[in-house]
Structure 1
Amino acid sequence: MHDHAHAHTGLRGAGNRRLLAVSLSLTATVMLVQVVGALLSGSLALLADAAHMFTDSSALVVALIASAVAARPADDRRTFGYQRAEVFGALVNAIILIVLMAVVAVQGVTRLIDPGEVEVAGPLMLIVAVVGLLANAFAMWLLSSAQKTSINVRGAYLEVLGDLIGSAMVIIAAIVIVTTGWMPADAIASLLIAVMILPRAVSLLREVFSVLAESAPKGTAIREIRAHLQGYAGVVGVHDVHVWQLTRGAPVFTAHVTVDPAVLAAGGAAPLLQELQGCLADHFDVAHSTFQLEPADRAECEARHA
C-alpha cells in the first residue's frame, strides 16, 4: 500500500525571488561603484572585489532564473517538478567562484612579482570599500532567513558573505596604504580574496554533489528513524529505507513496513499510515513520505523463498 504526503513549503516562491532580485540590485550597483573606484584609485584589491561582485551578480541572475524554473508545477514527465533547477543553479555558482579565484590569484601574484610603479589612491580605495561593506551587510541580512531552507538562496548568501569579507580586506589594505604608503598591501589583499573563495566553492560543490548523488540529507539518522517507526503498535519491522533530497529543505522518504496481520485485518492500515507520516513530519521534518505496508507473514514467506 502506498501513500504520499506532499510538502507545500513555497521555498521557491515569489518571496525568495524578490530577495534575490533585491540582492542582485545591490550587488550590481556596488560593483559599478567599485569598478569606477578601482580605475580611479589603481587598486587591484578593489578591482578584484569588483570582479568578485560581478561574478556574484551573474550568479544571482542564474539563481533568479533557477528559482523561477523551480516554481513550475510538476507534470506527468517531471513528477517531482523542477526543484532540481536550484541545484544546477548552485552548481553554476560554484564553478564561477572557482574560475574567479584563479583569475584573481594570477593577477595578484603578477603584481607582487612585478609591481612596477603602481600608485594606489588609498583614501578613495577606503571610501569605496566601506560603501561595499555596508551594502553587503544589508544584502546578507535580507538573505539570512531564506538561505536556511533553499540551496539556491544559500549559494547567493555565501557569495554575499564572501563579498563582505572581501570588502573588509580591502578596507584593511587601504588603511595600511593610507597610514604607511606600503603599496604591496593592495596585491596581498587581492590574493587573500582569491584564497577566501576556495572553501566557499568547495562547500557549495560538496552539497550539490550530495544532492545529485541522492545521499541522505546531512543530519538524517536512518537508524533513529527506523527505531522510531518500529515503536508504533502493530509495526513488526521496517526495511528498504531510502532517504534523499530534491534540493535543500525538500527531503523524500520511502520504506517498506511489515505489519502485524491482525492490524491490517481490523482495518488499521489507514490510521497506521497517518501515524507513520505524522511521525516523519513532526519528528524528522520530512513532509514527503511513501510507505508500503506488508503483512508480517508475507514478508517472512518472501524471505524464505528469496
Structure 2
Amino acid sequence: MGAHGHGHGVGVGTDRRWLGAALGLILTFMVGEFVVGLLAGSLALISDSAHMLTDAASLVLALVAIRLAARPARGGYTYGLLRAEILSAQANGITLLLLAVWFVYEGVERLLAPPEVAGLLVLVTALVGIVVNLAATWCISRADRSSLNVEGAFQHILNDLFAFVATAVAGLVVVLTGFDRADAIAALVVAALMVKAGWGLVRESGRIFLEAAPRDVDPDALGARLAGVAGVAEVHDLHVWEITSGKPALSAHVLVRPEADCHEVQRAIEAVLRGEHGLEHTTLQVDHHEDVALPADGADHCADPHGPVHLPGPLLAGGSAGPDGPAGSAGAIKGQPAP
C-alpha cells in the first residue's frame, strides 16, 4: 500500500529572468576589468576578472540546470533531471576551490616579488565593480535561493563582490602609501573567502548525492515519532533523503497492530510527516503485523533490513512491542533500551 505526495515545481521563469539579468551585468563588466587589470599590472583585478568568468560560467550552468530540472520525468529518469541542479552546485563549488588554489599561488609569488601596481586605476575599477556586483547580487537574491543551484551562483557573485571590496581597499592603500604588496594580500583574502564558499557548496551537494537525511531531520527521532502514532506496531526500513535541494522524500515500512485500521494509521502518519516535518513526497508500505511472516528464530522478517527498527514502547520478551502508548509518544529502537 503506498502513499505519494508530489511537489517538484520550480520557479523556472522567475529564476531564469533574474539569473539572465545578472549574467548580462557580469559579462559586460568582465571584459573591461580584464583589460584594465592588464594595463594596471594588478593581480587583484586580473583574478577578479577570472573569477567573473567563472561567475558567468556558473550562471550559464545554473540556467541550463534549471531548464533540465523543469523537464518532466520520463523513461529511466523517474525523478526527471532534478539533480542537474545539484551537479551545477557541485561544479560551482569545485571551481571556487580551484580558483582559490591559483590565487594563493599567484598571491604568494607577488608577496615575494611585488610588481608595480597602478593603484588609482585599480581603485576606480574596483569601485565600479562593487556597483556592478551589488546589482548582480540583488538580481540573484530575487531568485529562489532554497535551490542549491541558485545558491551556488549566488555564492560566486557574492564572493566576487567581496573581492572587489578587498581590491578597492588594496588600491586605496597603494595610492596613499605606495605599498604594492597590498594587491597580493587582497588576492589572498579573496582566496580564503572562495575556500569557505566552495567547500560549503561541495559539502552540501555531496550530502544530497550520498542521499543523507536533510540537516533539519533526525531519522532516529522521526522513526520514534512515527512509532508513537496510535496503532503502529513497528517502523523499519525508514529512509529520508533529498531528491534535490529543498525537496525531501521519505519511504518506510510500517507494521500496524492487528486491531487497527491500516488506512487510518497511514493517514495519521502522513499528517505527521506533512505537518511536523514538511515531507510531502512519501512512500509508505503499510501491512498488518499479523500478515507478515516472521522467522521462527525471531529475526527480522525483512531479508535485508536497512537501519534500526522503531517500536512504540518498551520491548517485551521475544522482541515484540509493548502496549501502544498515546499518539506522539516516543518509540524505542529494537535492541536498545526504550527512552
Normalised by the length of structure 2, the TM-score is: 0.82
Report the CA distance shift for 1:212/1:237 in structure 2 as closer, same or farther (over 3 A).
Answer: same
Measured after TM superposition, the shift of residue 12 of structure 1 is 5.4
For 1:243, what is the secondary structure of its paired residue?
strand
The question of whether the paired residues in 2 share the 8 Å contact of 1:11 and 1:150 is answered with no
Residue 280 (structure 1) aligned to one of 273, 277, 284: 273
**Deviations 1:168-221 (Å, cap 9, x if unpaired)?**
100110111111111111122122222321122111111121111111111211
Measured after TM superposition, the shift of residue 230 of structure 1 is 2.9
1:249-264 matches, within 5 Å, as 249-264=246-261
Q: How many residues align?
A: 299
Which residue number in structure 2 is paired with residue 112 of structure 1? 111
Measure, in 1, the Cα distance between the counterparts of 2:121 and 2:197: 29
Do residues 5 (structure 1) and 5 (structure 2) align? Answer: yes
Measure, in 1, the Cα distance between the counterparts of 2:19 and 2:88: 13
The question of whether the paired residues in 2 share the 8 Å contact of 1:12 and 1:70 is answered with no
The question of whether the paired residues in 2 share the 8 Å contact of 1:129 and 1:171 is answered with yes
**Deviations 1:239-293 (Å, cap 9, x if unpaired)?**
11001111110111001111122233xxx51x43333223212211111001111
Residue 187 (structure 1) aligned to one of 175, 179, 184: 184
Identity of aligned residues (%): 38
Which residue number in structure 1 is paired with residue 160 of structure 2? 163
Residue type matched to 2:289 in 1? A
Normalised by the length of structure 1, the TM-score is: 0.90
Q: Greater helix percent: which structure?
A: 1
Residue type matched to 2:76 in 1? R
**Deviations 1:25-54 (Å, cap 9, x if unpaired)?**
222222223213213322211111111111
Residue 215 (structure 2) aligned to one of 218, 241, 258: 218
In structure 2, the gaps of 5 or more residues are 302-339
Do residues 199 (structure 1) and 192 (structure 2) align? Answer: no
Which residue number in structure 1 is paired with residue 321 of structure 2? none
1:9-158 matches, within 5 Å, as 10-11=9-10, 13-116=12-115, 118=116, 120-144=117-141, 146-158=143-155
In structure 1, the gaps of 5 or more residues are none
| RMSD after superposition | 2.0
Measure, in 1, the Cα distance between the counterparts of 2:62 and 2:125: 27
Report the CA distance shift for 1:12/1:247 in structure 2 as closer, same or farther (over 3 A).
Answer: farther
Looking at both structures, which has the greater relative contact order when contacts are Cα pairs under 8 Å and sequence separation is at least 6? 1
Residue type matched to 1:241 in 2? L
For 1:301, what is the secondary structure of its paired residue?
coil
Measure, in 2, the Cα distance between the counterparts of 1:166 and 1:76: 45
